[in-house]
Amino acid sequence: MAPCAGCFLLAVLFSANCKVITFLDPMCTEKEASRTYNCENLGLKEIPDTLPNTTEFLEFGFNFLPTVQNTTFSRLINLIFLDLTRYVS
């Protein structure tokens, strides 16, 4: 088998076993696809831009937002539930 063909076969086998990841933020955890995210206790100072606007439930407690304004969560147009437990400003 040619070296390139072997690499291609390995790549195909590897990708067949991988889960497709649609949420690329390395910190927040996607609990339900494109709807529910946990960003608790990560020392965040802003809402990650990588959260999709389809987010409905956001756990954001134990973080450090400097201010919360009317526009802080405006990009998350489907947001229903927001947990700011122990929010520190």
Taking 80 as the threshold, does the pLDDT of residue 87 lie above it? no
What tens digit of pLDDT does each residue of 10-23 get? 444 444 444 334 44
Average pLDDT, the chain: 79
Q: What is d(CA 87, CA 60) in angstroms, rounded to the nearest whole number?
A: 8
What tens digit of pLDDT does each residue of 50-63 get? 999 999 999 999 99
Per-residue pLDDT at 26: 59
Q: Which CATH class is domain 24-89?
A: alpha beta
Per-residue pLDDT at 2: 54
